[in-house]
C-alpha cells in the first residue's frame, strides 16, 4: 500500500523534521502551512530533489473549509491518506491568565484543538474500515506543558494541549477496531521558532538546566518518536502519550 502522510504545520520546526523523516521512510508527503510559503516551498524542493514526493498546501487548520479543501487536494494529488500528524500549533506572548483576552484564548483553542479535531475527522473518513478505508495512523502533538501548566507564560496553550491528551485517549478507543492507531507525543523544550512567538527566542537556553538531561531537544529527536509511533514497530500501541523531554 502506498504510504501517504499529512503533516500539518509541516513547513518549519518539528513538523519540517517529521516531513523529512517521513519522506526518508518512503511516504509521499503533504505539508500544510499558514503563511510562510518560502519555508514550505524550500522543504518541498529539498524532498523532491532527493527523489521523494512532497507537496505543500496553504491551509489554516482553524478554518474548517480550509481543512476540507486540504484533504481534497491530497486525494487528487497523492491519493488516499494513510497517516496524519496533527502538528500545527501556536502560542502567543507570555502573559498571566488575568491578562488574557477571550479572543486570544479562542485563537489558541481554534488552532491547537479544533484544528486537530477537523483534520482527524477528514482523515478518519478516509482511513477507517468503517468508511471503506484500509486503516492508518494518527499522531497528535501535545506538550509537556499540558501537565506542567506553563504558569506565567501561557496557561491557555498548556490547557489546549491537555485537551489534546484527552482527545487522543478518546479517539484512540473510538477507532481502534477500525484499523486506526491514535497516539500523542509530548515534547519538552525543543529548539524551534515557537519560543520567539511567545516573546522569548532564548527560552530553551534559559530553562535547559531544569531538564534532567541538562539540554534542550532537537526537532529531529521528536520526529523520530513520531515515525516510530506510525510504524509497524508500534503495531500494538494506541492511546498512549510519549514524552520526548529529556526527563522534564
Ligand atoms: P513552529 O516552529 O512555530 O512551527 C509552527 C508550524 O505550524 C509552522 O509550519 C506554521 O506555518 C504552522 N502553523 C501555525 N499555525 C497554523 C495554522 N493555523 N494552520 C496551519 N499551520 C499552522 O512550531 P514548533 O515548535 O515546530 O511546534 C510544532 C508543534 O509542537 C506544536 O503543536 C507545538 O505546540 C508542539 N510543541 C513544541 C514544543 C517546542 O519546544 N518547540 C514543545 C512542545 C510541543 P507557517 O510557517 O506558515 O507559519
Condensed to tens digits (0 to 9), the pLDDT of residues 201-236 reads 999 999 999 999 999 999 999 999 999 999 999 999
Closest CA to 191 of 167, 218, 164, 168: 218
| Ligand 1 centroid – CA 130 distance (Å) | 31
What are the structural domains, with CATH classification, of the chain?
A: 4-243 (3.40.50.720)
Q: Which residues of 25-36 are buried (b: 16+ CB within 10 A; e: fewer)?
A: eebbbbbbbbee
13-24 vs 219-230: helix axis angle to the nearest 10?
50
| pLDDT at position 31 | 98
- Alpha carbon distance 169, 146 (integer Å): 14
- Alpha carbon distance 79, 170 (integer Å): 27
- Closest residue by CA, ligand 1 atom 33: 89
157 is known as an active-site residue: yes
Q: Taking the chain (248 residues) in consecutive chunks of 10 residues, what is each chunk's mean pLDDT? A: 95 98 98 98 98 98 98 98 98 98 98 98 98 98 98 98 99 98 98 97 97 98 98 98 98
| Ligand 1 centroid – CA 10 distance (Å) | 8
- The strand pairing partners of 83, in sequence order, are 5, 137
For β-strands 241-244 and 28-33, DSSP reports them as unpaired
Give the pLDDT confidence of 4-25 residue by residue, as tens digits. 999 999 999 999 999 999 999 9
Number of residues that this document lists for the chain: 248
| pLDDT at position 1 | 77
Query: What lines the ligand 1 site, CB under 6 Å?
Result: 8-9, 11-15, 32-36, 39, 60-62, 87-90, 111, 141, 143, 187, 189-190, 192-194, 197
Instruction: Say whether pTM exceeds 0.85.
Output: yes
Q: Cell digits for 230?
A: 506510525
- Alpha carbon distance 20, 52 (integer Å): 10
Residue spans of beta strands (DSSP E) within the chain: 4-7, 28-33, 53-58, 83-86, 136-141, 180-187, 241-244
Amino acid at each position: 500500500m502506498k504510504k501517504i502522510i499529512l503533516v500539518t504545520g509541516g513547513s518549519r520546526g518539528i513538523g519540517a523534521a517529521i516531513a523529512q523523516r517521513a519522506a526518508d521512510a518512503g511516504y509521499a508527503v503533504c505539508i500544510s502551512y499558514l503563511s510562510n510559503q518560502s519555508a514550505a516551498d524550500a522543504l518541498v524542493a529539498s524532498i523532491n530533489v532527493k527523489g521523494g514526493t512532497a507537496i505543500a498546501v496553504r491551509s489554516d487548520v482553524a478554518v474548517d473549509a480550509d481543512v476540507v479543501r486540504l484533504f481534497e487536494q491530497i486525494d487528487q494529488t497523492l491519493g488516499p491518506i494513510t497517516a496524519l500528524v496533527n502538528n500545527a500549533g501556536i502560542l502567543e506572548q507570555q502573559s498571566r491568565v488575568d491578562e488574557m483576552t477571550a479572543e486570544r484564548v479562542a485563537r489558541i483553542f481554534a488552532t491547537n484543538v479544533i484544528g486537530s479535531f477537523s483534520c482527524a475527522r477528514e482523515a478518519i473518513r478516509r482511513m477507517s474500515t468503517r468508511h471503506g478505508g484500509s486503516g492508518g495512523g494518527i499522531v497528535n502533538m501535545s506538550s509537556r506543558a499540558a501537565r506542567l501548566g506553563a504558569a506565567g507564560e501561557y496557561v491557555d496553550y498548556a490547557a489546549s494541549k491537555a485537551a489534546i491528551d484527552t482527545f487522543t485517549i478518546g479517539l484512540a478507543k473510538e477507532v481502534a477496531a477500525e484499523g486506526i492507531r491514535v497516539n500523542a507525543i509530548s515534547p519538552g523544550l525543543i529548539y524551534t521558532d515557537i519560543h520567539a512567538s511567545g516573546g522569548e527566542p532564548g527560552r530553551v537556553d534559559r530553562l535547559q538546566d531544569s531538564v534532567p538531561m541538562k539540554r534542550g531537544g532537537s526537532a529531529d529527536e521528536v520526529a523520530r518518536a513520531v515515525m516510530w509511533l506510525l510504524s509497524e514497530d508500534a503495531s500494538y500501541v494506541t492511546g498512549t502519550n510519549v514524552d520526548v523531554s529529556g526527563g522534564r
